[in-house]
Structure 1
């Protein structure tokens, strides 16, 4: 049974955890061109619970979650070719990988979110984000905006989405359904927009509760789109003769962070605003 996947050059790496009754963890190495099996790196019992993989400096690192009833987890490291492997014990209950930023590994830790120094493989902060009232079902780090998105649930009747900064301070919220177990960020480059144009749009008031005004110097705007943090289009207007000042009624929007996209014949410009 495979868990996380990652790749370096011509190799795909797959975490093999053996299912709920697995006693060891392995990393399978696969040829990226023909998907042929190359080898399997056995991490033995220190790899038990292997789940998420990521790449750092041409090495593959795995987050090995704490087994049921356990009190420690492990981070394992193999080289690109699988010839060298090491595992490091982390003295805390470890869950899924949240993200990696500035040589810091963030994981679900002790039912909150904690940080691990990648160089020393030691805990820096066990509670960057304290344990919430509900169970964390998914947490991810938006490395572009330096924000944690944390989904929590009681697995029966409710779910909540909370946004934190890198210091663990709550800065917003988003809509999350019951048991939201997966999350991903879509990073896209703006195409063919003059760099100066990116700074020619102003949204006010921001935060706002009922209406936002969009003042822009971008020429010939063709469409105005508002997207929520799940990538869903909440508002779209492509039939108006847009001027330099655009007003949008956001009173029906849920509280959270939204992305405004202005499109013209050249490309797309994006800005964020907060609905209170």
Structure 2
């Protein structure tokens, strides 16, 4: 859990009754959430539960269908809101790194500084090198993304985001595209950011990270927030049955839910009956 986080901190993000639909697909169903200064909030849940869409709505990479999102007290869904100014205070780290392949590591970390923040080249390079050192890649400043491992590319992406001096970091499953042996270095960088008091909103499948680092955990399913609380409660002793089933499957892959096992057995029986020309539910003739 981050050392400087406090639930008494000012609200950085306030989400109220957030809905998002893609055509007839209702992806987010009335979400309410608050992220406070210095907090690390981890969002967990099965694939397709709306986690990434929720995160992407915060900086309007996805336009909400309805509801309110305030960042630093400003309503970002207001047509008069300067969303570019809001985004300057938010760092975003994607699943697939999204580095510019034709730019060096150093240039990847300076281009937004010089074009968006209008920093001078020397100041931008100093900031970039400081953040590359923070993520353990000071020796890779002149390398190109194709010369780096996936884990190194993701750490460059973090350094790039930090170089913009964000007040909030958004992480969209930052380790999901990495080989298992490369995950640790990225999580170590994120742990360090948490101890330094960075406000972080993290969509993740890394349960150990969420348990160790998060101040709060949100469990989502079916586009809704099913359960929310401190890690020891949500992950260690969930109150909702859906949360419990999800965690059993994630934390103990060998666990088989009895109901699912019975249904799988019934499905195998139906398939065998169909293949033999029998009616499901009617015992097969052993002589056939």
TM-score, normalised relative to structure 2: 0.22
Question: Structure with the greater relative contact order (CA < 8 A, sep ≥ 6): 1 or 2?
Answer: 2
Flag the structure with higher helix content: 2
Structure with higher strand content: 1
Q: TM-score, normalised by structure 1?
A: 0.23
